[in-house]
Chain A
Amino acid sequence: MQDAKLGGTPNFYRAFLLALFGTYIFFNLGPIFWIIISSLKSRADLFAMPPKWIFDIDSTGYESVFGVGAARGTASAYGVTDSLINSVIVSSSGTFLAVLLGTLGGYVCSRFDFRGKGDFLFFVLSTRMLPPVAVLVFYHLMFARLGLADTKTGLVIVAIFANVGLATWIMKGFFDGVPKQVEQIAVVSGYSRMYAFVYLVLPMVRGGIAATAGFCFIFAWNEFAFASILTTTQAKTLPVKISAASGATGIEWTQIMSAGVVLIIPVLIFFYLIRKHLLMGMTFGILGRS
């Protein structure tokens, strides 16, 4: 249909548009290709001009990220491995708790009418809009007072706060897709609402829970602003550690590139799994409800 519509346009015009489209695809995919290539280069090859397209694969960067090989016990003194572990712990427990709370909240908002529901949902939406630095001015003071500064517990709390809104909105959308008759039949048959929720409705939104978890994990995993201010040594996450590799002594590009790829890989795996729900996840469930 669309092809037929463009049938009348001159050839050079179509070729021009095609070239623009091609340029954008190159612009879009090139950098990802380039970071993967660069992460496999040796320090000398990284700075070669003109850039080297053929080079010997060098794994020093990755060795220093995981503290293996030549970097065993040495340059991993940068503590990249520790920060990787911190990242895994903080984002997975943050995701688990945010999805748990979001599932409960989303269910209630989908099934019940209660006073202040609109206000609650708007309040939840505000977590998407808030500039992190604004609340950070206060968290910084509060976390120090409560002994949460530079702890993984503190970061998990932040991860819950940052993702529970998203989880609530998306899960509400998935619950809206389950017919209300499910609970009605259950209640009529003598089961409690709680039973209906746990044993009938929850299994029906398993896919939705997985997608929600995928989004929360990606956002928690990438989170930088909060972690950079609220951690100093012990609880640094991988993004913070990467930014610390640019210091007074210059930028450790080999390490940044490899750590960057290590940070990207889980994101791409989760991204692939949730690609069908992208519209919903990226707009906080405003659009793309199924």
Chain B
Amino acid sequence: MTLTLNQTNKPLVPLKKKSSGRLMILGFLSPTLAILLFMVAYPIFSLIWNSVHQFSALNLNQEFKYVGLENYTYLLSDADLWQRFIFTGKFVFVCVSIQMIIGIFVGYRLQRSFRGRDLIFTLLMMPMMLSPVVVGFLWRYMLNSEWGIVNYLMSLVGLGQVNWLSQTTPALFAAAAADTWMWTPFIILLATAAFRGIPDTIYEAAEVDGASPAYVFFRVTLPMSAPVLFIALILRLIDSFKQYDLFFALTGGGPGSSTETVSFAVAKRAFNYFYTGEASALAVILLFIIIGLSMILVRHLNNMGEKN
């Protein structure tokens, strides 16, 4: 019956309905479009415009001076700022690689059925839903060198004490640990979904051929789940690159300014020093990096869509 309806449907719909469809599209989309134009497009254009001017949000009436690309050349010649990029890069690399390895391992392990698996899976997903500020403070509390539980547990197994948050390199690893705690579940979530998509028959065939588990994992499971794992990778790269909240609560950018990410540097320039023009230029640079990564993701998604 549905089939016949489907076929006879087109001529039956009067022309009038078509224009009501157009009205519906317009009416339903325009509020969202208005909000996005006002909150995304407009800010980005004025950010670019602001970035070629020298001014401060403190005195908007004066000193709105066109300086061309001076803000950019100044920023790019600032050795201090390069440190922020280097730190952010290190942080992204450490976080994302650790998270991918643990996430894929735990996701693979969760493929095996055991009692209470669904419950454990759900519980494991909790950290990524929490507020980064709470996560930051919680880890700051746990990593305290005097009364933190991390150092206590380390002393139990005979490891030395570390001043996690008052030294540059340990602080990087402390931040990576907090980020890993929060976001490995995301990789687990996507990895289990990817692994579940591989048909059992392929595993059975590999078993008949006498392939070792390691061979099956590296030659069958990983390549077949690569498209989804790649999505996980890019999303994590984007999110850890723009990380701000966690550092705000965990290290406050310290010790000194050694754990300031690029986002942090933008915020500091804009809201502490009120170098608004310069901050806009840095925000534009940050935006371009994020847009570049997003483009890779979108192209990948389009490729995946074509294959299906």
Q: Which residues of A contact B (CB under 8 A)?
A: 1-6, 8-9, 17, 20-21, 24-25, 27-29, 31-32, 34-35, 38, 46-51, 101-102, 104-105, 107-108, 112, 114, 120, 122-127, 129-142, 144, 157-158, 160-161, 164-165, 168, 181, 184-185, 187-188, 192-194, 197, 218, 221-222, 224-225, 228-229, 239, 242-243, 246, 251, 253, 256-257, 260, 263-264, 267-268, 271-272, 275, 278-279, 282-283, 286-288
| Interfacial chain A residues near B207, Cβ < 8 Å | 4-5
Q: How many residues of B contact A (CB 8 A)?
A: 105
The verdict on B235 contacting chain A, using a C-beta distance below 8 Å, is yes
Contact between B131 and A224, CB atoms less than 8 A apart: yes
| Interfacial chain B residues near A2, Cβ < 8 Å | 111-113, 203
In whole Å, how far is B207's beta carbon from the nearest beta carbon of chain A?
6
| Interfacial chain A residues near B280, Cβ < 8 Å | 137-138
Please report the C-alpha to C-alpha distance between residue A122 and residue B137 in the assembled complex, in whole angstroms: 35
Contact between A137 and B111, CB atoms less than 8 A apart: no
B 268-306 to A, binary, CB cutoff 8 A, 1 in contact else 0 = 001100001001100110110011011000100100000
Contact between B129 and A28, CB atoms less than 8 A apart: no
Of all chain A residues, the one with the shortest Cβ separation from B12 is A188
Of all chain B residues, the one with the shortest Cβ separation from A242 is B133
Contact between B127 and A104, CB atoms less than 8 A apart: no
Ordered by A's residue number, 11 sampled pairs between the chains whose C-beta atoms are within 8 Å are A50-B152, A101-B31, A108-B25, A112-B21, A130-B287, A135-B40, A164-B32, A188-B13, A239-B134, A246-B249, A257-B141
Contact between A133 and B111, CB atoms less than 8 A apart: no
Contact between A222 and B200, CB atoms less than 8 A apart: no
| Interfacial chain B residues near A160, Cβ < 8 Å | 35
Of all chain A residues, the one with the shortest Cβ separation from B110 is A21
In whole Å, how far is A7's beta carbon from the nearest beta carbon of chain B?
9
In whole Å, how far is B304's beta carbon from the nearest beta carbon of chain A?
9
In whole Å, how far is A32's beta carbon from the nearest beta carbon of chain B?
6
Contact between B47 and A133, CB atoms less than 8 A apart: no
| Interfacial chain B residues near A264, Cβ < 8 Å | 130-131, 134
Interface 9-residue window, one of B65-73, B76-84, B168-176, B186-194: B186-194
| Interfacial chain B residues near A38, Cβ < 8 Å | 141
> Closest 10 CB pairs between A and B?
A131-B242, A222-B131, A104-B28, A161-B39, A134-B283, A138-B43, A260-B134, A108-B28, A133-B266, A239-B133
Contact between B134 and A242, CB atoms less than 8 A apart: yes
| Interfacial chain A residues near B61, Cβ < 8 Å | none
Please report the C-alpha to C-alpha distance between residue A286 and residue B234 in the assembled complex, in whole angstroms: 13
A268 with B126, Cβ < 8 A, contacts A101-B35, A222-B132, A246-B137 known: yes
- With contacts A134-B287, A218-B129 known, what are 18 further pairs, Cβ within 8 A? A31-B139, A49-B152, A122-B298, A130-B40, A135-B47, A135-B283, A137-B50, A139-B43, A140-B270, A141-B57, A164-B32, A165-B36, A187-B9, A192-B17, A194-B20, A263-B131, A267-B131, A271-B125
B 68-111 to A, binary, CB cutoff 8 A, 1 in contact else 0 = 00000000000000000000000000000000001001100101
In whole Å, how far is A264's beta carbon from the nearest beta carbon of chain B?
6
The verdict on B267 contacting chain A, using a C-beta distance below 8 Å, is yes
| Interfacial chain A residues near B122, Cβ < 8 Å | 272, 275
Contact between B216 and A105, CB atoms less than 8 A apart: no
In whole Å, how far is A41's beta carbon from the nearest beta carbon of chain B?
11
Please report the C-alpha to C-alpha distance between residue A116 and residue B152 in the assembled complex, in whole angstroms: 58
